[in-house]
Amino acid sequence: METFTSLFSKVKDILAELGGYYDDSRMIIYVTAGVMGITLLTHLIFRKIRIMKYLPGLIVLGIGLFNLYSVMDTLTADESLVNLLLFIIGTVAGLVGMLFALIIGIYSKPVKKKRRNSKTNKTEKTEEAAKS
Protein backbone atom coordinates (compact mmCIF):
# COMPACT_ATOMS: atom_id res chain seq x y z
CA MET A 1 0.00 0.00 0.00
CA GLU A 2 2.89 2.30 0.79
CA THR A 3 4.46 1.84 -2.64
CA PHE A 4 1.13 2.54 -4.31
CA THR A 5 0.74 5.78 -2.36
CA SER A 6 4.28 6.89 -3.17
CA LEU A 7 3.80 6.03 -6.85
CA PHE A 8 0.54 7.97 -6.89
CA SER A 9 2.16 11.01 -5.28
CA LYS A 10 5.06 10.88 -7.79
CA VAL A 11 2.66 10.79 -10.73
CA LYS A 12 0.65 13.62 -9.20
CA ASP A 13 3.82 15.73 -8.80
CA ILE A 14 4.90 15.06 -12.37
CA LEU A 15 1.47 15.97 -13.76
CA ALA A 16 1.35 19.13 -11.64
CA GLU A 17 4.76 20.15 -12.97
CA LEU A 18 3.78 19.49 -16.57
CA GLY A 19 0.35 21.08 -16.11
CA GLY A 20 1.64 24.56 -16.90
CA TYR A 21 2.82 23.41 -20.31
CA TYR A 22 -0.19 21.36 -21.27
CA ASP A 23 -3.10 23.77 -20.96
CA ASP A 24 -4.00 23.20 -24.58
CA SER A 25 -3.99 19.43 -24.14
CA ARG A 26 -6.46 19.81 -21.30
CA MET A 27 -8.69 21.73 -23.66
CA ILE A 28 -8.41 18.92 -26.22
CA ILE A 29 -9.36 16.38 -23.56
CA TYR A 30 -12.35 18.43 -22.37
CA VAL A 31 -13.65 19.10 -25.88
CA THR A 32 -13.16 15.45 -26.83
CA ALA A 33 -15.01 14.29 -23.72
CA GLY A 34 -17.80 16.75 -24.52
CA VAL A 35 -18.11 15.49 -28.09
CA MET A 36 -18.17 11.91 -26.82
CA GLY A 37 -20.93 12.82 -24.38
CA ILE A 38 -22.96 14.55 -27.08
CA THR A 39 -22.44 11.53 -29.34
CA LEU A 40 -23.72 9.19 -26.64
CA LEU A 41 -26.69 11.45 -25.98
CA THR A 42 -27.45 11.62 -29.70
CA HIS A 43 -27.30 7.83 -29.89
CA LEU A 44 -29.69 7.45 -26.97
CA ILE A 45 -32.17 9.94 -28.43
CA PHE A 46 -32.07 8.71 -32.04
CA ARG A 47 -31.77 4.93 -31.68
CA LYS A 48 -33.68 4.17 -34.86
CA ILE A 49 -31.71 6.58 -37.06
CA ARG A 50 -28.20 5.16 -36.84
CA ILE A 51 -26.46 7.84 -38.91
CA MET A 52 -27.37 10.59 -36.41
CA LYS A 53 -24.73 9.50 -33.91
CA TYR A 54 -21.98 10.47 -36.36
CA LEU A 55 -23.31 14.01 -36.71
CA PRO A 56 -21.56 15.65 -33.67
CA GLY A 57 -18.17 14.34 -34.76
CA LEU A 58 -18.73 15.50 -38.33
CA ILE A 59 -19.78 18.97 -37.19
CA VAL A 60 -16.72 19.42 -34.95
CA LEU A 61 -14.45 18.05 -37.68
CA GLY A 62 -15.98 20.56 -40.10
CA ILE A 63 -15.31 23.38 -37.65
CA GLY A 64 -11.69 22.29 -37.36
CA LEU A 65 -11.23 22.08 -41.11
CA PHE A 66 -12.86 25.50 -41.55
CA ASN A 67 -10.32 27.00 -39.14
CA LEU A 68 -7.48 25.52 -41.18
CA TYR A 69 -9.00 26.86 -44.39
CA SER A 70 -9.39 30.34 -42.88
CA VAL A 71 -5.64 30.64 -42.12
CA MET A 72 -4.32 28.86 -45.21
CA ASP A 73 -2.79 32.06 -46.66
CA THR A 74 -1.14 33.22 -43.42
CA LEU A 75 -0.20 29.88 -41.96
CA THR A 76 3.04 30.97 -40.28
CA ALA A 77 1.83 34.32 -38.91
CA ASP A 78 1.41 34.85 -35.18
CA GLU A 79 -2.24 35.79 -35.57
CA SER A 80 -3.09 32.40 -37.03
CA LEU A 81 -1.89 30.35 -34.04
CA VAL A 82 -5.30 30.49 -32.38
CA ASN A 83 -6.99 29.17 -35.52
CA LEU A 84 -4.37 26.45 -35.87
CA LEU A 85 -5.06 25.40 -32.29
CA LEU A 86 -8.77 25.30 -33.06
CA PHE A 87 -7.98 23.21 -36.14
CA ILE A 88 -6.07 20.68 -34.05
CA ILE A 89 -8.73 20.56 -31.34
CA GLY A 90 -11.57 20.27 -33.85
CA THR A 91 -9.87 17.59 -35.91
CA VAL A 92 -8.89 15.44 -32.93
CA ALA A 93 -12.25 15.80 -31.19
CA GLY A 94 -14.17 15.17 -34.43
CA LEU A 95 -12.25 12.03 -35.30
CA VAL A 96 -12.51 10.69 -31.75
CA GLY A 97 -16.24 11.45 -31.77
CA MET A 98 -16.75 9.56 -35.01
CA LEU A 99 -14.70 6.60 -33.76
CA PHE A 100 -16.72 6.61 -30.54
CA ALA A 101 -19.91 6.57 -32.60
CA LEU A 102 -18.54 3.61 -34.56
CA ILE A 103 -17.76 1.76 -31.32
CA ILE A 104 -21.26 2.50 -30.01
CA GLY A 105 -22.71 1.24 -33.30
CA ILE A 106 -20.77 -2.00 -33.13
CA TYR A 107 -21.63 -2.53 -29.47
CA SER A 108 -25.35 -1.87 -29.89
CA LYS A 109 -25.80 -3.66 -33.20
CA PRO A 110 -28.98 -5.73 -33.16
CA VAL A 111 -28.40 -9.46 -33.16
CA LYS A 112 -30.31 -11.30 -35.83
CA LYS A 113 -31.68 -14.65 -34.77
CA LYS A 114 -31.07 -17.52 -37.11
CA ARG A 115 -34.11 -19.36 -38.26
CA ARG A 116 -33.96 -22.98 -37.20
CA ASN A 117 -37.13 -23.85 -39.05
CA SER A 118 -35.47 -23.47 -42.42
CA LYS A 119 -33.56 -26.74 -42.03
CA THR A 120 -36.55 -28.67 -40.78
CA ASN A 121 -38.73 -27.25 -43.56
CA LYS A 122 -36.19 -28.30 -46.19
CA THR A 123 -35.91 -31.82 -44.79
CA GLU A 124 -39.70 -32.14 -44.63
CA LYS A 125 -40.00 -30.98 -48.24
CA THR A 126 -37.35 -33.46 -49.41
CA GLU A 127 -39.05 -36.26 -47.50
CA GLU A 128 -42.41 -35.38 -49.09
CA ALA A 129 -40.79 -35.26 -52.51
CA ALA A 130 -39.17 -38.64 -51.92
CA LYS A 131 -42.54 -40.19 -50.90
CA SER A 132 -44.28 -39.10 -54.07
**Distance of alpha carbon 82 from alpha carbon 89, whole angstroms:** 11
| Mean pLDDT, residues 54-79 taken together | 89
What is the tens place of the pLDDT at every residue in 19-41? 666 777 788 889 999 999 999 99
Helix-, strand-, coil-residue percentages of the chain, each rounded to 5? 80, 0, 20
Torsion of CA 86, 88, 89, 90, to 10 degrees: 80
State residue 79's pLDDT score.
81
State residue 60's pLDDT score.
95
Output 127 or 92, whichever has higher pLDDT. 92
Neighbours of 25 (CB within 10 A): 13
| Mean pLDDT, residues 62-84 taken together | 87
Domain ranges of the chain: 2-110
Torsion of CA 96, 97, 102, 106, to 10 degrees: 100
